[in-house]
Structures are given as structure tokens and as C-alpha cells.
Amino acid sequence: MTPATTEIDLYDDVVLRSLRVEDAAALAEAYRVNSEHLAPFEPIRSNDFRTESGQRTEIAALIASREAGTALPLVLAHGSRIVGRVTLSGIVRGAFQSGNLGYWIDQRYADRGLMTAAVNEISRLAANELQLHRIQAGTLVDNVASQTVLRKCGFVEFGLAPEYLLIAGRWQDHRLFQRILEP
């Protein structure tokens, strides 16, 4: 089940909307502009990742996951510029009814409340349209900004995962957060 219409006005002329194939060039540019900003929080990326071709490949995989019902990839867009991404991935049905939340924002758009608004909206979509029971997110232990967003959006910390993800070239510990959703 995929939300029928996913284009939500956040504010400051920024919208949260479904990822599209035609976003490849703008997304590649966003990753290039923010490569230093994002590097401490992401896996080491190939040079191809920041190209239009690389993003077309990424987008195709995400759209296939969306169509399979295992992901909900969204972007924050300001006109034709992509200024962030919010994705529910690893959606599992059955007794679990859960998904994993990941997000980033362009450094020029940080500290405006946009990501808090976006996380609240994807949480609403997860509850009301995807009918999930919970979503979870992991942050690097020292990523206070991301932890603040999660807490503002009703997430609670439920654990510490040692050497959880390979980020910036090394296995790093993460604080784990979850939000139990109510439709």
C-alpha cells in the first residue's frame, strides 16, 4: 500500500513529495553540494553515487522498493532543488508492521524546523496510510541534532547498538529510537 498523494507543503516553499525518476540530476547536485556535510553520517560513497547516472540507479531501486511495498522514499524540494530526503525502508508486514527511518537535509536548510516537519509527516503517512505500528531510527551516538528531531517527533530512545552501521569507513555505535504509531 503506497500513499496515493504524497506532496505536502511544509513551509518556506519547501514540499515533501514522492521521489521521482526525474529527480536524478537535482539529487546528484544535492549530494555533491553536501558531500562534506553528509560524510560523517553516511557510508563511504563511490564517485558515481554523486552523478546523475548514479542517482538514476539509486532512484530505480528505491522506486522498485516502493512498488513492492517495502519502502517509502520522499524528497524535500524547494522549487527544482532537492534539499533533503526522508525514507522509510525495510518495511516489514505481518506481526511486525514496522519500518526504518532515514533522513538528511541540505546544510543550507538546516535549523529551520523542516526536518522535524518532514519526520512528523512521514510518521503520519506511516500510521494512517501504510498502517504501520512503529517506525525506528538510529543515530550516531554524538548526532545530537538528529536525536533532537526524533525526540520532537515523539520518538523514544530504546537502546544502544554497538558497531551498528559502517559509517564514514568504520563500524559505529548508534542510539536506537522508535515511535509507536497510532492511526
Give the pLDDT confidence score for residue 2 in this predicted structure.
54
Q: Largest Cα–Cα distance of the chain, in whole Å?
A: 41
pLDDT digits (tens, 9 = 90+) for 43-73: 999 889 999 999 999 999 999 999 999 999 9
The rounded distance, in Å, linking the Cα atoms of 161 and 141 is 10
Q: Which residues contact 54 (CB under 8 A, 6 or more apart)?
A: 28, 46, 48
Task: Tell if the pTM clears 0.85, that is, is over it.
Answer: yes
Q: Where are the domains of the chain?
A: 7-133
pLDDT digits (tens, 9 = 90+) for 108-159: 999 999 999 999 999 999 999 999 999 999 999 999 999 999 999 999 999 9
pLDDT digits (tens, 9 = 90+) for 68-84: 999 999 999 999 999 99
**Residue 98's beta-bridge partner residues?**
92, 134
The rounded distance, in Å, linking the Cα atoms of 42 and 50 is 13
Class of domain 7-133: alpha beta
Q: Which residues contact 17 (CB under 8 A, 6 or more apart)?
A: 6, 7, 8, 74, 75, 77
Q: Which residues contact 47 (CB under 8 A, 6 or more apart)?
A: none
19 alpha carbon, distance to own chain's centre: 11
Q: What is the DSSP letter of 113?
A: S
